[in-house]
Amino acid sequence: MTFELPDEAQALKESAAAFAAREIAPVVEEAERNEKFPRDLYSKAGQAGFIGMRYPDELGGQGAGITAEVLWRETCSYQCAGIASALSVPGNIGSYPIYEFGSAEQQQRYLPKVTAGEWMGAFALTEPEAGSDVKGIRSTAERKNGLWVLSGRKMFITCAPSADFFIFTCYTDRDLGYEGIANFILDRSLLPDDAITPLKTLGHRSSEVGEVAVDRIEVPDDALIGEPTGGFRRAARTLNGGRLVVAGGAIGTGQRAVDVSVAYAKERRAFDREIGGFQAVAFRLADIAAAIDSARVTVYWAASRWDAGSESPKDVAVAKLIASEAAVRAASEGLRTFGGYAYIGGEFPIERLFRDSRYYVIVEGTSDVQHLVLARQLGLKPQ
């Protein structure tokens, strides 16, 4: 099952896959073991033109659509989901609000540095008590003496330990409800050294996830993205695109789980035959291969709808849900194929793929959130 990509997109996918095999594959084990993102990879990816491809030429991008970002995340995730996250987030949710909603001055200051692979941005939205419930954030921005004073605690922020700036989402006026939310650009240089705390994670270890503690940090007016209200919709738009890109990552991780499991089933012998010759194993692998192929078609279709300007929340939710769940299923069923060897850390990549796959059903809207979106699109009102 295939989705016919345009020639330019297919060429990009092949180029990205070659980059990932050449640059990412050799450093995966060390990066995962040390839980450290190889920052030089970001510079190489920027120089190769893979960072912020949606941005126009004058900002260092390629003027490409979100399909390009999906393909980039997919091919990098095939090699390593954690490194792929760190290579993808800064040019997407980590800086996209600046492109779509920021001023020309903000765009010129930040985006060329991002696309060149010099600066990394991070999307500081989630908090200890507010993830899927964005309106539940507690971070604030107070207006004092001509400046904005930011305070708040952000949690589970991808790329936080490496980020050069953050898109910081907070309330400027809580009395307005979610309309009183705003987005600010918060430069890392304004934060004390102890403001960022790295977090140990189950999977995606090489992406570097962290907590960001902001305590009465003053920023000028030109740090505000757009108006001091309406930030909820800007964050939602950013996350919607992020969901498609994450779905691309799920496809890459899921496909790798299928491929390593099939290869092992052809090599491992039991009862005088390859284990892939047993119907129980062969059918299990056929099922996950079909699931990933189906997810890929769905994600590519949704991305093409986005690029055509005709996407709907339903399209994005379907793609994110199907791809995320398919990745988890592929890694879980693949794990069974390896038996006891899969339970030994580092023995085979399926152990890492199993851990990494769980990430996709959580970030950028959990599977439960996607179910909620889809149910509402059907005219239902789940509580």
Residue (of 257, 244, 288) closest to 78 by Cα position: 257
301-316 b/e (C-beta count within 10 Å ≥ 16 → b): ebbbbbbeeebeeebb
User: Nearest 5 degrees, angle CA 98-CA 105-CA 167?
Assistant: 30
Contact predicate 165/188, CB 8 Å = yes
For residue 345, what are its two tokens? 């850390």
What distance in Å separates the CA atoms of residue 151 and residue 101, rounded to the nearest whole number? 22
69-100 b/e (C-beta count within 10 Å ≥ 16 → b): bbbbbbbbbbbbbbbbbbbbbbbbbbbbbbbe
Kind of pairing between the strands at 121-124 and 165-171: parallel
DSSP type of residue 59:
G
Residues making up the chain, counted from first to last? 383
218 an active-site residue? no
What distance in Å separates the CA atoms of residue 158 and residue 162, rounded to the nearest whole number? 9
Residue for token pair 């030109």 = 222
For residue 23, what are its two tokens? 């640059």
Looking at the annotation, which residues are catalytic?
364
